[in-house]
Structure 1
Amino acid sequence: MVYAFVMAKTEAGSSEAVLEEILAMDAVVDAHVVAGEWDVIAEVDAGEVQDVLGASSSGIQALENVVDTKTYISMSA
């Protein structure tokens, strides 16, 4: 398994709506609206690195009101 954390920046006022869409994704284990440089942090659990890429770029980054993402792959389980 591959674990990753995807940070997302959203349009102003849209973090809660984006959070709900992210939580509905199959590969997302958990997600939270946070304060700081990023607006939402999602935990992704996938079979392979390519699956993390799909969840990040084809999934989260493709959502309306998401303006930027950054993905961190966990080096430990």
Structure 2
Amino acid sequence: MVNLPAPGRRVVVRYLLPTGQATDALGELLSADESTLVVDGKRGIERIPTGAVIAAKEVPPPPAPRARGAAQENP
């Protein structure tokens, strides 16, 4: 198994789908054990079999939301 930070941290996990295609889960690591990683991201809660994990690492918090009118003020 890859080294993971403690639950509660923001992570990106690259894993293989049953088709063999790789995909990523980005979000808060809720839990991890010998069989499953649980990540809460924009797609909802994802349960990822540890055997499908290719790589995983902690990532920084998301950037702050941009002001809505900022792009229009600087054409």
> Shared fold (TM-score greater than 0.5)?
no
- Greater strand percent: which structure? 2
Query: TM-score under structure 2 normalisation?
Result: 0.39
Higher relative contact order (CA closer than 8 Å, sequence separation 6+): 1
- Specify the structure having the higher radius of gyration (Cα): 2
